[in-house]
Amino acid sequence: MFSKKNEEGYSTPMDGIHYKTLSYGDKTLMAKFKLEKDKVLPEHEHPHEQIGLLISGRINLTIDGELHEVHPGDSWCIPGGVEHRADIIEDSVAVEVFSPVREDFLP
- For the entire predicted model, the pTM comes to 0.94
User: Parallel, antiparallel, or unpaired for β 17-24 and 29-35?
Assistant: antiparallel
Query: What are the two backbone dihedrals, phi and then psi, of residue 16, each rounded to the nearest 5 degrees?
Result: 80, 0
d(CA 63, CA 77): 9
Each residue of 8-23: pLDDT tens digit? 999 999 999 999 999 9
Which domains occur in the chain, in start order?
Answer: 13-102 (2.60.120.10)
Each residue of 58-78: pLDDT tens digit? 999 999 999 999 999 999 999
